[in-house]
Structure 1
Amino acid sequence: MRISILALIVLLGGCAQVNSVLSSANSVLGTANDALGTVNGKVSSVTGYASGDKVYNVGNKSTAAYDLIGFKVVVANIDPKGGIATGFSGRADVIFTGKLKNKTNRRIGVSFSVPIYDKSGNYLRSATKTAYAPAHETAVIDLQEMGVIEWNGGERPNVQKMKFGLQKF
C-alpha cells in the first residue's frame, strides 16, 4: 500500500507541473490570439473605404475574352489639409478594385487607364494598372497607384473616359 500511495503522490506532483505548463501555454496562446485580433481589425480598416474617399462605381463590363465584375475606381487617402497623408504632399491614391473573370484558354492581362484632369478640364496624366488572370480563372483586382492625384489642387479622374486594354499570353 505504501508504494501505491507514494506513486500516487509522485503522479499528482507531476500532474501539478503539467497543469502549470498548460496554464502558461494557455496564457501565451491567449496573448497571441489578442494580437491577431488587433491585426485583423487593422486589416479590415485598411481594406474598407474611409469616409473621405471618393468611390466611382464603374460596374460590370463584359467582352468575349473577359468580364469585369463590380469594378470600382477609388480615390483614397485624400488629405483634406494638404499635408502628407500618403507620403506625397496634398496627393491622393487611385485604387482599382473588383474581379476579373478570364473566359479564354490563355492567360490574359487587362489594363485600366483612367484619365486625370485639372480643375479647368485639361488632361494631365492617367492612372494605369494591369490585372492578370490565368485561363478560365477569376482574379481579385486590388491595384493602387500612389500619389497620382493632387486632390487639393482640383485634379479629378474621369471614369467615363476610361480605357481598357487586353493582352493574351
Structure 2
Amino acid sequence: MIHFRVATAKDLNRIVQMLADDELGKTRERYETPLPESYIKAFESIDADPNNELVVACRDEEIIGVLQITFTPYLTHQGSWRATIEGVRTASTERGQGVGSRLIEWAIERAKERGCHLFQLTTDKQREDALRFYERLGLKATHEGLKMKLSID
C-alpha cells in the first residue's frame, strides 16, 4: 500500500537519486556522496516555509515517489491561492504502475484542503510522455510558460 508523508532530511539522498534518474535529470542533478551542500540548503528552506511541502510516496518504508507543492497567494482571481507542483518523480522501478497518478491525485486533494483555486505545474517540453500523462489526469495546456536561466556570479 502506498502512503504519503512530508519528507525529512533523512530522505534527501533518495530524493536526489530519483531526481537524477532520467535523461534530463542526469544532465542537471548531482547525485553523489556526500550530497552537495546546495541540496541540503534547499531542503532546509523548503522545510522551514509553511507554503512549501516536499512530499514522498512510500511503499512500506521505501520511498518510491516525490513532488514539491508550493502554495502561493495571488491578487488575480479575486485574491485566491494557487498550488504549483514541481519535481515530480517516480522511482524508475515503479514507473507505469500508478505511483505518479496517485502522487498527482494526492497533490490535487492537498491543494483543495489549502483552499486553492488553481492547480498548476510545468514540465519540460522534451518530456512528451509526461505531457500526455498530465493530460490524462485532467490537466490542460491552457497557458504558454516562459523561463530564463540566470547566471549567478
**Which TM-score applies when normalising by structure 2?**
0.31
More helix by share: 2
Structure (1/2) with the larger strand percentage? 1
Q: Normalization by structure 1: what TM-score?
A: 0.29
Structure having the higher Rg? 1
